[in-house]
Amino acid sequence: MATVTKFEDILCWQEARTLNKFMRNLIKHKRFEHNFRLINQIEGSAGSIMDNIAEGFDRGGNKEFILFLFYAKGSCAELRSQSYRALDAEYIIQCEFEEINDKCLRINYLISRLINYLKTTEIKGMKFK
């Protein structure tokens, strides 16, 4: 794996950012019928995925990074659950739901692979150089 010097280079963060933009575009088009609580939850969990990846990376150590990656995985699952609520309330259609679900599953997979790599690497993070 190539050395990553900033969180913006991490593939799962890049894909989480894309997902965050996708969710914002769905909400922006006023399809959530003023359900501000669900809007806030969706924006919070979608943003939390990328934010936790970034925060964990900048902590400088693998153990903390792994912990924050697990938080990101949790936020990803939370967003998937919220997308079911949006589908059931007919705020989104089936193909949009499937796109959200697919993106979340891909991000989750990428995060899991990164966690597995961090658990096995000899490099323990910038904090320990």
Structural domains in the chain, sorted by start: 7-128 (1.20.1440.60)
Among the listed ranges 50-54, 73-77, 94-98, 124-128, which one has the minimum average pLDDT value?
124-128
Q: Does 71 score more than 80 pLDDT? A: yes
Determine the residue type at 92: I
CA separation for the pair 57, 78 (Å, rounded): 21
pLDDT the model gives residue 2: 63
Q: Does 1 score more than 60 pLDDT? A: no
pTM, full prediction: 0.91
Q: What does the pLDDT average to over 35-44?
A: 96
- For residues 38 and 129, the model is more confident at 38
Determine the residue type at 71: Y
User: Cβ(50)–Cβ(75) under 8 Å?
Assistant: no
